[in-house]
Structure 1
Amino acid sequence: MPISIRDVAVRAGVSVGTVSNVLNRPDEVSSESVERVTQAIEELGYVRNDAARKLRAGVSTTVGFVVLDGQNPFYNDVVRGAEDEASSHGIAILYGNTDEDPSREKVYLDLFREQQVRGLLIAPYGDVMTQLRRFRSSGIATVLVDRFSADSGFSSVSVDSVAGGRLAVEHLIEGGRRRIAFVGGPFDIRQVTDRLAGARAAAENAAVHIELEVVPTSAMTVEEGVAAGARLLTRPRREWPDALFAANDLLALGLLQSLVSGGRVLVPDEIALIGFDDNPFAAAAAVPLSSIRQPSRMIGRTALRIVLEEAADPESIPRQTVFPPELIVRRSTSG
């Protein structure tokens, strides 16, 4: 059983009230009592439960953060940005990875609502708006992360994924590519559909004819990228696309592994490749990977700042913060 303040009082031979005063108002307690209580705390290994104390006072010191893919370095950086901002406010981040599983997403949301966190940050996978409205009705500020909010009742912090998809394919077209494959999925992830929409817009608005095909994946992982690359290479060489746009860098790294394994494909001479996120591994790949950069840590810091502002002022007007994407060109598209 955890050591309680009552256990400390018994060991020190003082009242519970005296222990409380030592912890909260030591200047009102005799030096002898402070010494006895401090010694008892050290002997018992008592750890003060500040979270419970703040909850009793009606102010939680925690913010919940739910992400859809904890294996993606992009989300790790977003969470790190939120943690950096939180530390300056004396706030702790409670982190949950749903792994693109709606049932796990519900479990974390239920848990954080029961814990009465000060605020919730969420990069959602499924349709969670009904649950998020329950947070709002419970007085818990909620901010969508990496997802533009179509519901005016919620703030959001995101990157313009449509513009990012357009940037990627325009770059490939400018490099002389005409047969482009978009590799990504599942398509119930909003970011995937937005990036595909941008890719299609670039292809349709090009001054030359562009063939844009879609190669679906069941997840946004390196393994799925490897599998997608293997499927593409079973085609006759004349039917290969001359460029690939992966919906994120993990897929792109898997595709690159398939393409260059055994020297089967020259990247970018035969097939150019671009990803999305510009995660830390992109520049260090066997062929440095071109990518669409998102300001991941700034997204996390901004989201944390907004959720604390809204927790302090429930009447504040929700706002949508959208960062522009940035094209990062490396050898995988520009040999």
Structure 2
Amino acid sequence: MAVSMRDVANAASVSLGTVSNVLNAPEKVSPATVARVQEAIDRLGFVRNDAARQLKAGRSRCAGLVVLDIGNPFFTDVARAAEQQAAAHQLTVLLGTSDGDGTKERAYIDIFTEQRVFGLMVSPVGEDLDRLEALRRRGTPVVLVDRDGTGTQFDSVAVDDVAGGCLATAHLLDIGRRRIAFVGGPASLRQVRDRRRGAEKAVDQVPGARLEVIETTTLSVLAGRTVGEELRRRPAADRPDGVFCANDLVAIGVLQAFTMLGALRVPEDVALIGYDDIDFAQSAVVPLSSIHQPTALIGATAVDLLMAAAGAEDRAPAHPVFVPELVVRQSTVA
């Protein structure tokens, strides 16, 4: 049979209110009484019913975080930073991964809503934010992560992916490459579309340069390897001399396909650059140039925005957008 707070009060010879204060506001109770109550808790094996407490308060001390792909180290690092920042606010982060599936994303949103989470941080799959808007109107703060929410009622934290795509492609053009391929997908992801737009902007500014778009169904190593194999089989004249991948996982797959049989040299035959600057990028067989995103800052800022939204109902939403940085390694400069 579960031990109740009343059992603890009886064992410690104190009132029920004193036990409640020891659990929730120990500074209101003398140290000797706190010690006596704590001894009774330990001896009886009392575990507080946090679900009941949250139900009474109307909101838990847990925040939900839904990311696109926890298998991508970029989102792993964002989640870790969010978890650390949440702990400073006495919050626990509950994590879900949508795998780029809108149905799965909606299921997580519903589950977290049923759990009465303190707030929700989401990297949306698509453009339909109605479910999140309904949640916000019911009083639960929502923050868009890795998505610029300018023009919406949501707080958001993002990186300028158009600028990042332009930066990556301009670097390939600066080292003399003119046949550029952009590899990534699906195009339904705004991050992919924005990085492609940046690539198009950079190519449009250089006479004689051209851009080939090769869409993948996922942003994975396997997807990159498939594209790399196809490019490796092409005649040299039909092959791009510079490849910009929408993330580092795709770029690593392309690199594997190019180098495993020694058929193509990177960067001599094909220069290659990725996006996200994950840890694996610098330890690849040919260290990978990439576009760096401040993952720790993104995760921590998402939690700070969540706290700000929960603390003031009438405040205007904030939309910080960070600037990405070019990291040059051997895959573009021999």
Structure 1 residues 220 and 17, CA gap change in structure 2 (3 angstroms) = same
The residue aligned with 2:142 is 142
Counting only pairs closer than 5 Å after superposition, residues 79-94 of structure 1 correspond to structure 2 as 79-94=79-94
Preserved contact between residue 277 and residue 293 of structure 1 (Cα < 8 Å) = yes
Q: What is the CA distance between 1:51 and its match in structure 2? A: 6.2
Unaligned segments of structure 2, at least 5 residues? none
The residue aligned with 1:113 is 113
Structure 1 residues 286 and 2, CA gap change in structure 2 (3 angstroms) = farther
1:308 aligns with 2:307: yes
Structure 2 CA distance for aligned equivalents of residues 197 and 25 of structure 1: 54
Q: Deviations over 1:57-99 (max 9, x none)?
A: 3453221111011111111111122122212211111111111
The residue aligned with 1:198 is 198
Preserved contact between residue 141 and residue 314 of structure 1 (Cα < 8 Å) = no
Partner secondary structure for residue 90 of structure 1? coil
Which TM-score applies when normalising by structure 1?
A: 0.91
The residue aligned with 1:5 is 5
Counting only pairs closer than 5 Å after superposition, residues 294-305 of structure 1 correspond to structure 2 as 294-305=293-304
User: What one-letter code is carried by the residue in structure 2 that aligns with 1:270?
Assistant: D
Q: Deviations over 1:9-65 (max 9, x none)?
A: 677788755643553466658968963x54443244333345653552345322111
Structure 1 residues 193 and 6, CA gap change in structure 2 (3 angstroms) = same
Structure 1 residues 25 and 94, CA gap change in structure 2 (3 angstroms) = closer
Structure 2 CA distance for aligned equivalents of residues 317 and 277 of structure 1: 30
The residue aligned with 2:131 is 131
User: What one-letter code is carried by the residue in structure 1 that aligns with 2:236?
Assistant: R
Counting only pairs closer than 5 Å after superposition, residues 1-335 of structure 1 correspond to structure 2 as 4-5=4-5, 8=8, 19-24=19-24, 35=36, 37-50=37-50, 52-206=52-206, 208-335=207-334
Structure 1 residues 24 and 314, CA gap change in structure 2 (3 angstroms) = closer
Please tell me the root mean square deviation across aligned C-alpha atoms, in Å.
2.4
What is the number of residues matched between the two proteins? 333
Preserved contact between residue 66 and residue 122 of structure 2 (Cα < 8 Å) = yes
Residue range with higher mean Cα deviation, 40-49 or 85-94: 40-49
Structure 1 CA distance for aligned equivalents of residues 160 and 179 of structure 2: 25
**Percent identical:** 48
Preserved contact between residue 290 and residue 333 of structure 1 (Cα < 8 Å) = yes
Q: What is the CA distance between 1:179 and its match in structure 2? A: 0.8
Q: Deviations over 1:133-161 (max 9, x none)?
A: 11111101111111112433112110110
Structure 2 CA distance for aligned equivalents of residues 93 and 22 of structure 1: 25
Unaligned segments of structure 1, at least 5 residues? none
Structure 1 residues 251 and 45, CA gap change in structure 2 (3 angstroms) = farther
Q: Deviations over 1:175-234 (max 9, x none)?
A: 11011111000010000000001101111111x211211111110011111111112122
Structure 1 residues 86 and 327, CA gap change in structure 2 (3 angstroms) = same
Partner secondary structure for residue 215 of structure 1? strand
Which TM-score applies when normalising by structure 2?
A: 0.91
Structure 1 CA distance for aligned equivalents of residues 137 and 50 of structure 2: 26
